[in-house]
Chains A and B, each alone.
Chain A
Amino acid sequence: MMRLFITVLREIFGLFVDDGAYAFLIVLWISACALLLPLSKAISHWGGPILFFGLVSLLLTNVMRSAKRLKHERAQVHHNKH
Chain B
Amino acid sequence: MIGFASAAPTILASFMASLVEFIEALTIVLAVGTVRGWKPALQGTLLAAVLLALLVALFGPSLTAIPLALVQLVVGVLLLLFGLRWLRKAILRAGGALALHDEMAEYRKTSQALGSEGEAGSASFDFVGIAAAFKAVVLEGLEVVFIVIATGAAAQALGPAILGAAAAAALVIILGLVLHRPLARVPENALKLVVGILLSGFGAFWTGEGLGLAWPGAEWALLWLVGGFFVAAMIITQLIREPAMVKAESRISETGKS
Interface residues of A (CB under 8 A from B): 4, 7-8, 11-12, 15-19, 22-23, 26-27, 30, 33-34, 37-38, 44-49, 51-52, 55-56, 58-60, 62-64, 66-67, 70-71
Interfacial chain B residues near A49, Cβ < 8 Å: 216
CA distance A7 to B131 in the complex (A): 13
With contacts defined as CB atoms under 8 Å apart, how many contacts are there between chain A and chain B in the complex? 110
Distance from A8 Cβ to chain B, minimum over Cβ atoms (Å): 7
Interfacial chain B residues near A51, Cβ < 8 Å: 204, 207-208, 211, 213
Residue B146 interfacial (CB < 8 Å): yes
Interfacial chain A residues near B77, Cβ < 8 Å: 27, 30
Interfacial chain A residues near B87, Cβ < 8 Å: 59
* Given A48-B215, A56-B228, A59-B232, A71 and B221 contact (CB-CB distance below 8 Å): no
Name A45's contact: one of B89, B214, B242 (CB within 8 Å): B214
Closest 8 pairs between A and B when the two form their complex, measured CB to CB: A47-B213, A48-B215, A16-B81, A67-B240, A67-B97, A56-B232, A70-B97, A48-B208
Give a binary string over B179-213; 1 marks a CB under 8 Å from any A CB, 0 the rest: 00000000000000000000010001101100111
Smallest Cβ-Cβ distance to A47: which chain B residue: B213
Distance from B93 Cβ to chain A, minimum over Cβ atoms (Å): 11
What are 12 of the A-B contact pairs (CB < 8 Å)? A4-B131, A8-B138, A8-B139, A17-B81, A34-B211, A47-B211, A48-B214, A52-B228, A59-B87, A63-B95, A64-B240, A70-B97
| B236 and A63 within 8 A (CB) | yes
Interface of chain A: mostly helix, strand, loop or mixed: helix
Chain B count of residues within 8 A CB distance of the other chain = 42
CA distance A12 to B146 in the complex (A): 9
Interface residues of B (CB under 8 A from A): 77-78, 80-82, 84-85, 87-89, 91-92, 95, 97-98, 131, 135, 138-139, 142-143, 146, 200, 204-205, 207-208, 211-216, 221, 225, 228-229, 232, 236, 239-240, 242
| B82 and A33 within 8 A (CB) | no
Smallest Cβ-Cβ distance to A4: which chain B residue: B135
Interfacial chain A residues near B80, Cβ < 8 Å: 26, 30, 55
Distance from B135 Cβ to chain A, minimum over Cβ atoms (Å): 6
Distance from A35 Cβ to chain B, minimum over Cβ atoms (Å): 10
